[in-house]
Structure 1
Amino acid sequence: MNTLLSIKKRNAVLLKMAQLLEEERQAIIEINKVDLESYQGEDISMYDRLKVDDAKVDEMIKSVTHLASQEDPVGVERFSFKHENGMQVYNKTASFGTVLIIYESRPDVTVEAAGIAFKSGNKILLKGGKESLRSNLKIVALWHQALTEESASTDWVEYLQFNRTETQAFLEKPTQPVDLIVPRGGERLIAFVKQHAACPVIVSGRGNNFVYVHKNANTAIALDVIVNGKTAKISACNAVDKVLIDANLPNKEAFIQALISKLKEFKVEILGDEKTSKFDEITRFESEEIWYEEFLDYKIVIGEIASNTDAIAKINTYSGGHSSSIITTNEAEAKTFMENVDTAAVYHNASTRFTDGGQLGLGGELAISTDKLHQRGPIGLQHLVTNKWYIFGNGQTR
């Protein structure tokens, strides 16, 4: 087990990493081009996540710089108690130890997730996808350079160059201690990790996010929120896949027509139920099972719903437990929706695209958890810790 580095040293490594990312900006982009050219798949969202350009490098630099400015998440007092026998009891945050991050196609995770894990005093094992291997190895080499230049062991960040069989073997019988595993990727990756892991797993689950346009909706807001949620970044887990429109929305037909024309500007394929598929540009979907699907594509389902109660029930049946939004001017209805919808993030009159550690004030995220333990939604620096009890006595016995 690595001895916890002082906060001063951890911050110095993060700032050094920011400097190296700037110095090696062009080299990272050039190496990433080779990964992009080698990518054989058809998945446009995978390709989008794989790509590193100047804006992505800017985000990486911003992420580690911001991490360096944040308070130390380790050793924070959460509870204290003075026992009647004179013992002083404290509960404080403590690092997990070793965190394994398994992810697909996103070189920025090699910076951001590793940075969060490192700042919170954890050793990081990174297992990226083969499609981003060159980019990841380049970034890990920069981590090692930053650690070396600040006189810290390169053991803090380790890259596991494993194939699927080797990964399975490592999950089942790790060759070194692993305290927590965070899979970031599609449902198949998550199911694979959960099936084989021998230690706790934080599930960064699927999106399949819903927007409910209530009968008292401001339709201009509804249009903006739906179009932004669907088209701004189709590869994001916080993108919108389903829209429920209240049957009693005034000017419902005109609103649906406006929504169709906005979505068609972005070439979004629109599917609908019995009621909404009466519109020319909406195709009737074949099976109710589609309500469970996360698309990660220019594809959306628009359905009609009778009431807020029905919308809540539908979302709780089909969504991925990630994000949902109600568009309404009625605050009581919004409160009912937000309290009863079982998703990690609930919105009133805003886009689900904000479910992101950086956007919600955490400065970055390791993952977005759709589990309820030990943390739900974006997992930031302050959540990548467990806790420990410190008891100070002078000979007390029980």
Structure 2
Amino acid sequence: MDNLEQIGQAAQQAEQQLSQMKTSEKNDVLRAMAKKLRQQQDEIIKVNQNDLATATDIPANFVDRLTLNEERIEQMAQGLEQVAALPDPIGNVDKMWRTEDGLQIGKQRVPIGVIGIIYEARPNVTVDAFALTFKSGNTVVLRGGKEALQTNSYLVECLQTVLRDKQLNEAAVQILHDTSHETAQKLMELTEYLDVLIPRGSSRLIKSVVQHAKVPVIETGAGNCHIYVDEFAQLKMATDIVVNAKTQRPSVCNAAEKLVIHSAVAKQYLPTIAQALAKFNVELRGDDRAREILPTIGVASEDDWGREYNDYIMAIKVVDSVDEAIKHINHYNTKHSEAIVTDNYENSQQFLQQIDAACVYVNASTRFTDGFKFGFGAEIGISTQKLHARGPMGLNELTSSKYIIYGNGQIRA
């Protein structure tokens, strides 16, 4: 069983070293780690295949999340290199001003400290989390799911090998080998050592962490994402966007789960999009108005509207206005990513301003909600809360701040 106190103490000690590193030193380590992943590609895939062979009781959509191949390993390596190329936020002074007392006050970026991450079946999170926490001067304690334990452990071993080669404290990244719920609960209560806890995974996992953690939590959300096809949409564009958002990788949180369509174009458009999605064997469910047009599709129940499928399933809602679309989406969404397809400027601006979500798109797929695609190199998660961070969390979101004050002998009267 993992000794969480020892792990916490080691993480704090490593953080003291990291917080003093020069940007050039951190970048050199990240580039060396990218090289290490490429060198160990065959072994990583071999270990990952062992995980896949034993993960016989997980849903098919989780198998995709668990799987590593040459392309995904290369993406992880490129993520490390992209993070190395990004500006280092640590030490930056966001603003500085002089008070009436003659004090010069600045707000400076500093590391958060020790970050804990609980995640499921996504080995790429192991590398992404380290890249971002390391560059931002933080240490990280990882607790992945049992399905990916061998893969995650081997990836951490590769990262720690590079740290040792650079004479750095390998406790900058640590992983729990005990994946029991009891150990996870103890990690959630490790307030003496963890500064923040970030859950990544299913809505059930996130809800459990939020409810039971004593450590402060940054909530990363499930994705019940919508595409609204407005009456002024270019329908060919809409089809491309819907098909991409639903089928390009349906197991991830930024995949579209719901199609909302204006009644003015529903009769013309629904047969077209149904045919396009049928090529990917997408199961469609609809409200009464959608089923009048597509009588062979299933019935969308109340449970469907708020559900994240992570599968080749999509529910359809027909509405009579952009106002009705916004009301429906805000009622059922998880505040992750929402999109409108329209050529009407007023409708696009109303959608942007009134939709309550971390990321709101006009004429683009929700699949772009990703730290890599946003230019962050990687992401620690997509925050759907409103405190501290919202949306894809990159380097700046993994920092806190402190005020630095310069005086010349002032005392308060």
- TM-score class, shorter-chain normalisation, is over 0.9
Alignment of 1:142-221 (within 5 A): 142-162=158-178, 163-174=180-191, 176-221=192-237
How many Å separate the matches in 1 of 2:137 and 2:296?
Answer: 53
CA contact (8 A) 2:80 2:377 kept: no
2:330 aligned with 1:316, yes or no? yes
Q: What's the counterpart of residue 356 of structure 1?
A: 370
Query: Which segments of structure 1 move beyond 6 Å, counting only runs of 4 or more?
Result: none
Whole-angstrom distance in 1 between the partners of 2:117 and 2:255: 23
Determine whether 1:274 maps to 2:254: no
Aligned partners of 1:241 and 1:295 also within 8 Å: yes
Counterpart in the other structure of 1:335: 349
Shift of 1:281: 3.0
Partner of 2:148 in structure 1?
Answer: 132
Q: Report the RMSD for the aligned CA atoms in angstroms.
A: 1.2
Distance 1:88 1:336 in 2: 42
Query: 1-side partners of 2:299 and 2:169: how far apart?
Result: 59
Q: Partner letter of residue 312 of structure 2?
A: Y
- The CA deviation at 1:70 is 1.2
Report the CA distance between 1:76 and its aligned residue.
Answer: 1.1
TM-score (norm 2): 0.93
**Aligned ranges for residues 1-398 of structure 1 at < 5 Å?**
1=12, 2-3=15-16, 4=19, 5-162=21-178, 163-174=180-191, 176-249=192-265, 252-278=266-292, 279-285=294-300, 287-398=301-412
Amino acid in structure 1 at the alignment position of 2:267: E
CA distance in 1, matches of 2:284, 2:328: 19
SS in 2 for 1:183: strand
- Shift of residue 86, structure 1, vs aligned partner: 2.8
Distance, in Å, in 1 between the alignment partners of 2:82 and 2:350 is 36
In the alignment, is the contact (CA less than 8 A) between 1:210 and 1:242 conserved in 2? yes
**Cα deviations across residues 90-113 of structure 1 (Å, max 9, x unaligned)?**
111110000001111111111011
Contact 2:190 2:215 in 1 (8 A): no
* Deviation, structure 1 residue 189: 0.8
Letter in 2 for 1:83: T
Match of 2:371, SS state, is coil
1:330 maps to amino acid: N
Q: Alpha-carbon deviation of 1:312?
A: 0.5
- Report the TM-score when normalising by structure 1: 0.97
Contact kept in structure 1, 2:139 and 2:172, CA below 8 Å: yes
Higher mean C-alpha deviation, range 38-47 or range 228-237: 38-47
Give the CA deviation at 1:173: 4.0
Superimposed CA distance per residue, residues 263-322 of structure 1 (whole angstroms, 9 cap, x where no aligned partner): 11111110000111122331122x223110010000000111010000000010001111
Residue 282 of structure 1 aligns with an amino acid whose one-letter code is: I
Maintained 8 Å contact 1:260/1:281: no
CA contact (8 A) 2:123 2:152 kept: yes
C-alpha contact 1:272 1:283 (8 A) present in aligned 2: yes
Amino acid of the residue matched to residue 121 of structure 1? Answer: G
State how far apart, in whole Å, the 1-side matches of 2:79 and 2:407 are. Answer: 42
Q: Determine the C-alpha separation between the residues in 2 that align with 1:44 and 1:221.
A: 30
Where structure 2 has 5 or more consecutive residues not aligned to the other structure, the ranges are 1-11
Q: Which structure 1 segments of 5+ residues have no match?
A: none
Q: How many residues align?
A: 394
Aligned-pair identity in percent equals 37
